[in-house]
Amino acid sequence: MMKQIPLAIGPQPSMDFDGFVTGSNHEPLAAMRHLASMLAAVNEGTGADIDAVRPPVYLWGDTGSGKTHLLRALAGELQAAGRKLGWFESGRVQPWDFLPDWSALVFDDVDRFDADEQGAAFALFVEATTHGVPVLAAGRVPPVDLPLREDLRTRLAWGLVYAMQLPGDADTRAALRRQADDRGLILKDEMFDHLLTHFPRDLGQLSALLARIDEYSLSTTRRITLPMLRAMLGDEAAADQPESADAR
């Protein structure tokens, strides 16, 4: 079948505070909004007390609960105000060097840090504390269960700790419908039912799936239906299969 090449014009889900699916996470959302505004005030020289933002913040919860979204929302607020911050996650090439002009230091997915990354993170944490730079981190488990070296684990547990809850079906459905509307997609209720029933309840993964559906629909000029979704998944599975010896 001849396929069109879709233009990358579909809007991406907004990683800001307004685009966050709150669900039961009102407290961590409010805390991160407040922290972002305080950091901006401190760096704009308005006389805000930096001691109020010095304790570390740790967000924990299952994949899809919105931890990274809140961290990126705060980062976006600071960057929009012309501030700088350090962002580190597992797999980032070392060395991890501290810069004194950072407004914040962020560690994402800390439970995935290997031994070398834990050492680098600890050194950064100490340096940030020395310079009065607040530290924010996120992981899938509470601090007591983090598989980290003890000095880093206890420092992450020292400040504010928030347990993030997965959004419920109603919140997830509403978020997906908003994203579909933003893309100009017409999806029937049966499509949303299918997505919520047959795929992980991870809004990030579901958003990525919606983007793939949009692209596939454009490239094949097919309406978005359950048969089209099954065809897309079949094509993706076939594309992932290694070539057979005969084919080579």
Per-residue pLDDT, averaged over 57-81, amounts to 93
pLDDT at residue 175 is higher than 90: no
The pLDDT, as a whole number, for residue 34 is 94
The whole-angstrom separation of Cα 165 and Cα 61 is 6
The pLDDT, as a whole number, for residue 10 is 42
Count of C-beta atoms within a 10 Å radius of residue 196: 15
Tens of pLDDT, residues 2-52: 343 333 334 445 688 988 888 899 999 999 999 999 887 765 544 344 444
Amino acid found at 29: L
Tens of pLDDT, residues 103-159: 999 999 999 999 999 999 999 999 999 999 999 999 999 999 999 999 999 999 999
In DSSP terms, 60 is beta-bridged to 139, 163
Residue 166 three-state SS: coil
Higher pLDDT, 56 or 45: 56
The pLDDT, as a whole number, for residue 172 is 83
Give the helix/strand (H/E) hosting 235: helix 226-240
Least reliable range by pLDDT among 112-116, 173-177, 208-212, 229-233: 173-177
Per-residue pLDDT, averaged over 51-66, amounts to 82
Q: In the block, which residue shows the tokens 């979204």?
A: 69
Whole-prediction pTM: 0.75
Q: How far is CA 4 from CA 7, 168, 217, in A?
A: 9, 36, 10
Amino acid found at 19: G
The whole-angstrom separation of Cα 142 and Cα 146 is 7
Return the closest-CA partner of residue 170 out of 140, 203, 199.
203
Count of C-beta atoms within a 10 Å radius of residue 137: 28
HSE of 41 in the Cβ direction (CA atoms, 13 Å)? 14
Give the helix/strand (H/E) hosting 177: helix 169-182
The pLDDT, as a whole number, for residue 53 is 44
Return the closest-CA partner of residue 203 out of 40, 1, 23, 5.
23
The whole-angstrom separation of Cα 240 and Cα 64 is 25
Residue 86 three-state SS: strand
